[in-house]
Structure 1
């Protein structure tokens, strides 16, 4: 199975739909309810900004964290792919003055608006993620600059999933499923923390939840599980800013282009990977015209240098994006989107109606990516003469060895 195959998640979700009522009841046992509330209030308060911050709780299950955070005054959106779990969560939240907003959504590919949350939380979700690094890079994009990721998990199955006796568990998390869940049988929580770091989070910290372990030993945990030391894992979203490029950025922009070009090699597009970056004189021309921008990370030591760049030119009726590139070391964090938003604002400020660009039609991070950002494909028969001139120049450069397309987007970015 391919990890992106939806059948994998359907198998997982069917288990949690079946287990929703029993699992949620085990999470809310009367004899330890007051103790648990105190423990988890302390955990989340230690990690999150003060309420009323905007929090997204991913894989909310029966709403354990989401409901508690709403009670503490946070503005909470909570998502899950299990209808059964969401039913449990909504029932438990009934009667709250300001309950979480529950929604059906995939934590691996969340559809929530980018840069809309001060914090993202998850509890007992990381171990069952398909493609965890890709998922966490998407979580990074959901956070506002400097926002907090706070997740709780443990190495639940160091002896393997088959050791869990819960009815239906091993049958659903069968070998062809678990092979695509890299953290499911992790030997240590450090493997999860390493994923956060690879996904671009800063200041990743592991905090052992020893009081939770003590409570589990005293009162027992969810059936099928042994008491395990859980950890709070926190990280910070990087802060990036876009500014107009200056003459001193030329060589950094060329370095970004060389690094970004290497991604094409894996697709058998060696001539693109080997193509020289834009000449310094060409970039200087865009900079002098005020149509070049760089995106860079803000760190405690100051700005870290260009992580991506965009150059453009004015055409009749549009701002044409000639090139937008991001260093793969900063990939998957929404920097291309930030650059396009800046170009979009520039176009609107000067009364320009749309953004245009040309790109490879079938490369995943080209046309399909731009379509997700609201661009539409425009066939040559509908293109104006200036865009056709650009297409002819690309063809003369040999780029038509692979399908190319013209794209456009209204200059309101949506």
Structure 2
């Protein structure tokens, strides 16, 4: 019989392979990268409202090519990005260098972070939970690394794709949040893990995505109890 951890590792390897393969073209899509000054300013405005004016220590989990990491660094936060896919991280480092932003990027597992307890003030994750074989374990892990009174902020959605593609054809049944979740469902998960003051904001402005949004996108944040 296959052990659960062995199955989980095999799923994670295919997830890594998928995003490595997409790294060189990921930012080309209008709803993935930042392509205009207006799009940059709109994202910056939303993030500023949710993170405040004081610089924070931020861990951006599942950072991909660094889209969110760079936006947060532009706002003055001290950002570290972590991702499972080396090719994504290579793109993120190159973009940070071109933008003259000092951001540390390293390879890591969103469900088992090489980070000490209470290390950061804010954890961010953009369109990540649907890719995880153990998303609730990941949320507990994110809570561990955030100091009491800090926050977890996720940008998520509910897209309900017609069918899985590439590596996800093989593994989508092993991903409990595949296709994302409506905000009420994700709110319930965060509340079950003890997060407080959970709030969310729909992200349906076409400027954010460079097109009319095809799915239910939103931002949700909760506070780690003291």
What SS does the corresponding residue of 1:61 show, helix, strand or coil? coil
Q: Is the 8 A contact 2:8 2:133 kept in 1?
A: no
Q: Is the 8 A contact 1:20 1:84 kept in 2?
A: yes
Separation in 2 of the partners of 1:29 and 1:140? 29
Q: Which of 113, 116, 119 is 2:116 aligned to?
A: 113
TM-score for the superposition, normalised by structure 2: 0.89
Q: Does 1:41 align with 2:44?
A: yes
**Once the 2 structures are TM-superposed, how far is the Cα of residue 210 of structure 1 from its aligned partner?**
2.5
Partner in structure 2 of residue 179 of structure 1? 173
**Once the 2 structures are TM-superposed, how far is the Cα of residue 60 of structure 1 from its aligned partner?**
0.2
TM-score for the superposition, normalised by structure 1: 0.50
What SS does the corresponding residue of 2:81 show, helix, strand or coil? strand
Q: Is the 8 A contact 1:24 1:88 kept in 2?
A: no
Deviates more, 1:53-62 or 1:108-117: 108-117
1:141-220 aligned within 5 A: 141-157=144-160, 159-162=161-164, 170-175=165-170, 177-186=171-180, 188-211=182-205, 214-215=206-207, 219-220=210-211
1:12-411 aligned within 5 A: 12-26=15-29, 27-28=32-33, 30=35, 33-157=36-160, 159-162=161-164, 170-175=165-170, 177-186=171-180, 188-211=182-205, 214-215=206-207, 219-220=210-211, 227-239=214-226
Residues 85, 57 of structure 1: alpha-carbon distance in 2 compared, 3 angstrom cutoff: same
**Once the 2 structures are TM-superposed, how far is the Cα of residue 96 of structure 1 from its aligned partner?**
4.0
Residues 122, 183 of structure 1: alpha-carbon distance in 2 compared, 3 angstrom cutoff: same
What SS does the corresponding residue of 1:234 show, helix, strand or coil? strand
Q: Is the 8 A contact 2:157 2:183 kept in 1?
A: yes
Residues 51, 130 of structure 1: alpha-carbon distance in 2 compared, 3 angstrom cutoff: farther
**Once the 2 structures are TM-superposed, how far is the Cα of residue 161 of structure 1 from its aligned partner?**
3.5
Separation in 2 of the partners of 1:198 and 1:227? 29
User: After the TM superposition, which parts of structure 1 deviate over 6 Å for at least 4 consecutive aligned residues?
Assistant: none
Q: Which of 8, 13, 17 is 1:10 aligned to?
A: 13
What SS does the corresponding residue of 1:227 show, helix, strand or coil? coil
What SS does the corresponding residue of 1:40 show, helix, strand or coil? helix
Count residues in correspondence. Answer: 221
Residues 96, 220 of structure 1: alpha-carbon distance in 2 compared, 3 angstrom cutoff: closer
Q: Deviations over 1:119-165 (max 9, x none)?
A: 000111122122111110110011111101111010022x5443xxx
Cα root mean square deviation, aligned: 2.1
Separation in 2 of the partners of 1:127 and 1:28? 19
Q: Is the 8 A contact 1:197 1:204 kept in 2?
A: yes
Structure 2: give runs of 5+ residues left out of the alignment: none
- Is the radius of gyration larger for structure 1 or structure 2? 1
Separation in 2 of the partners of 1:42 and 1:11? 35
Structure 1: give runs of 5+ residues left out of the alignment: 163-169, 240-414
